[in-house]
Every structure is written in structure tokens, then in C-alpha cells.
Structure 1
């Protein structure tokens, strides 16, 4: 069942995000089979990330919590807040999937 994980970076932690980014990307690559979609939330000018969205295919909230806690961004204490909710796909690639 899909879960949406939304993360919010701590203010003024852009340097930490950049420092840990490569390890974060390697973690995502190692878990690509779980990812339905994933990406950073950006400022309007596209230059600064302030958190991220993950759509993950996992069986339980506990698995989603373990997934995000193992992310190098989480381990580096980049996040001020993490929200996890179940998600139902309705549209994908401009197609109704219901």
C-alpha cells in the first residue's frame, strides 16, 4: 500500500542538505524498488530545497517510518518535521487509475 512521506528541513540547513545529498541519493538508489516517486520541494526560483516528498510502496506505517529513519537526511537530523500518510493513487501519467 502506498504511503506519502513529506519532510520539512530545519531552517538554515541548506549546507547540511548539500553535505549529505550524495549519501541520500545512494540510499534512494539502493531502495528504488520501493519508490513510486520522490523529489525535493523547491523554492519558486528552483534554487533552494526545503524538504521532500516520497511516495513509497510499503506494507505498513511502521515500514514507512523505518524507511525514512534510515535515510541519511534523517540520520543527519536535517528534518524539522516528517509527516507520513496513506495514499491512494487516482491519477498517474495523466491517466485515471481508479
Structure 2
């Protein structure tokens, strides 16, 4: 079942984000089979990330929690807040999936 995980970086932690980014990307590559979509939330000018959105296919909220807790960004204490909600996929790649 799909889950949406939204993360919110702590203020003024861009340096930490950049420091841990490569490990984060390697973690995502290692778990690509779980990702429906994933990416950073950016400032309006597209220059500064302030968190991310993960759409993941996992069997339970507990698995979603374990997934985000294993992310190097989470382990580096980058996030001020993490929200996890069940998500119903209706459209993907411009196609109705219902």
C-alpha cells in the first residue's frame, strides 16, 4: 500500500543536508524498488531544499516509519518533523490508475 512521507528540515541546516546528501542518495538507490516517487521540496527560486516527499510502496505504517528512520538524513537529525499518511494513487505518469 502506498504511503506519503513528508519531511521538514530543521531551519538553517542546509550545510548538514549537503554533507549527508550522497549517503541519502545511495540509500534511495538501494531501496529504489520501494519508491513510487521521491524528491526534495525547494524554495521558489529552486535553490534551497527544505525537506522532501517520498511516495513509497510498503505494507504498513510501521514499515514506512522504519524506512524513513533508516534514511541517512533522518539518522543525521536533519528533520524537524516527519509526517506519514496512507495515500491512494489515482494518477501516475499522466494515467488514471484507479
TM-score, normalization by structure 2 = 0.99
> Which position in structure 1 is the counterpart of 2:4?
4
> Which position in structure 2 is the counterpart of 1:82?
82
Report the RMSD for the aligned CA atoms in angstroms: 0.4
Measure the CA separation in 2 of the matches of 1:80 and 1:39.
17
Q: Number of aligned pairs?
A: 98
SS at match of 2:62: helix
TM-aligned CA deviation for residue 97 of structure 1: 1.2
> Which position in structure 1 is the counterpart of 2:18?
18
SS at match of 1:16: helix
> Which position in structure 1 is the counterpart of 2:93?
93
SS at match of 1:67: helix
Deviations 1:33-87 (A, max 9, x none): 0000000000011000000000000000000000000000000000000000000
Structure 2, gaps ≥5 residues long: none
Structure 1, gaps ≥5 residues long: none
